[in-house]
Structure 1
Amino acid sequence: MFGIVDFPLFLLAVFILNVTPGPDIAYVAGQSIVHGRRAGVMSALGVSIGGCVHTLFCALGLTALLAASPSAFTLIKTAGGLYLVYLGLRTLFARKPAAGSVMPVPRLRETTLLLRGFVTNVTNPKVLLFYVAFFPQFVAAGSPDKTTAFLLLGLVFVASGLAVDATVALVAARASRAVSGRPRVRGWVDRVIGTAFVGLGVRLLLARR
């Protein structure tokens, strides 16, 4: 249908790719641990919106153009890397609760959470390159419906990612509640999350095509 080929294989590959730890999963888990379950789920939705943008660009052929431009690749990876470093530093230097006390979970606005998740995904050039290299393998070269095929495959990929990220958010929130009354443990968790964000950001800044 619509020139899509080997769809069962595509589903299997997409599932494996979505459960493989990366910046999106790390970000969603971090937000859920630091700000609660609601923040994690909203962040997962933001990541999915970013995936929808990648899907649209791929279907219109813009993704291939961006991937072929060294300056565009550098701009995207720099923005994404610096943003992850910024989030990591914010987590590392956030005010910690005093011993014997429990700091209330900060409540961020839905728009803020969605925007953060969106930016984390849409500024990741590895996602852009993934769309260029992966999706064409499952669309017949001579199909007259390539645009529709890319849109459908992209939506399946995004929906699978949202299911995985939302599950990660719920699990991370439950783990966070288990340590919410233990400030020292929570402090170490925040340090690990912050360091992970900084590391992912630096890795992205040093990435090559």
Structure 2
Amino acid sequence: MSLHTYILFVGASFILCLVPGPDMLFLLGRTIAQGRAAGLCAAFGINLGAYIHLLAAITGLSALVLASATAFTAVKWIGAAYLLCLGLGALRSKGGFAFPVGDAKVKALRLIFWQGFLSDVLNPKVALFYVALLPQFISAHDPSPVKHLVALGVTGNMVGIGTSITYVFLAARMTDALRRNQSISSWLTKAMGALFVGLGLKLATEKV
């Protein structure tokens, strides 16, 4: 793999990270409604999920799932149901999501981390990204295709987490004053819930 090819991949990854998708909307929703710590936990959870997709792509598991209409539909519906559950839970909340202190705060942030992880892992569009895009930057005569696929995947994930962290810090700073108002915080929570419900419905009705 040449340096030119690698730079092209970095550029393509960055552009794709700027395109709004379920993962970006998930971490932005958490950030706007709950603050920077929640957004960062969501971002790192999503990034860990991306490594699961990378591993699945390299081992061929993603290709098998995408090739099977039944398996693909099952993953899609599970992911949609998960987002719907998150959304409905937020809509039923009676107040904002202000974090408690101590161990309760740690547990809340840990939960958001794993929610981000599952949100990414259960998104078949992410699997399609790794299966369809990565091989485009690997030559058919490459003597070490697996090594270069791993390098590209890790690079793409690093670009992704860097972009996500930037979004989180910007969104948190712009909405910090809003979250201090209890009524606005409650409204933001409801809006986040509606966003997750919308993402779930969109995923359920999408075709790849």
TM-score (norm 1): 0.88
CA distance in 2, matches of 1:138, 1:120: 27
- SS where residue 149 of structure 2 aligns? helix
Residues 43, 117 of structure 1: 8 Å contact kept: yes
Query: Which amino acid is the alignment partner of residue 6 of structure 2?
Result: F
- Is 1:105 equivalent to 2:104 in the alignment? no
Which whole-Å deviations, capped at 9, do the CAs of 1:109-157 have from their partners, x for residues lacking one? 2432221111010100011111111111100112231111111111011
Contact 1:34/1:190 (<8 A) preserved: yes
Aligned runs of 1:123-134 on 2, under 5 Å? 123-134=122-133
- Identify the residue that residue 27 of structure 1 maps to in structure 2: 26
Gaps of 5+ in 1: 98-102
Matches within 5 A, 1:62-77: 62-77=61-76
Return 5+ residue gaps in structure 2 as ranges.
none
C-alpha distance in 2 between matches for 1:5 and 1:137: 14
Distance 1:207 1:172, change over 3 A: same
Give the conservation status (yes or no) of the 8 Å contact 1:5–1:138.
Answer: no
Distance 1:4 1:128 in 2: 26
Q: Which amino acid aligns with 1:14?
A: S
- Equivalent residue for 2:198? 199
1:86-116, Cα deviation, whole Å (9 max, x unpaired)? 111122221126xxxxx74353524322211
Indicate how the Cα distance of structure 1 residues 78 and 108 shifts in structure 2: closer, same or farther if over 3 A, else same.
farther
- 1:151-194 C-alpha deviation (Å, 9 max, x unpaired): 11110111111111112222222233211233333333223222
| Contact 2:79–2:122 under 8 Å retained in 1 | yes
- Read off the aligned partner of 2:124 and give its amino acid letter: P
- 1:52 paired residue number: 51
1:157 and 2:192 correspond: no
The corresponding residue for 1:100 is none
What displacement does 1:53 show? 0.7
Assess if the C-alpha contact under 8 Å between 1:36 and 1:105 holds in 2.
Answer: no
Q: How many residues align?
A: 203
User: How high is the sequence identity, in percent, across the aligned residues?
Assistant: 36
**Cα distance between partner residues in 1 of 2:157 and 2:175:** 26
Q: Offset at 1:4?
A: 8.0
CA-based RMSD of the aligned residues comes to 2.0
More helix by share: 2
Q: Are 1:58 and 1:150, in contact at CA under 8 Å, matched by a contact in 2?
A: no
Deviations 1:71-96 (A, max 9, x none): 11111111111111111112222112
Find the aligned partners of 2:139 and 2:50 in 1 and give their Cα distance: 23
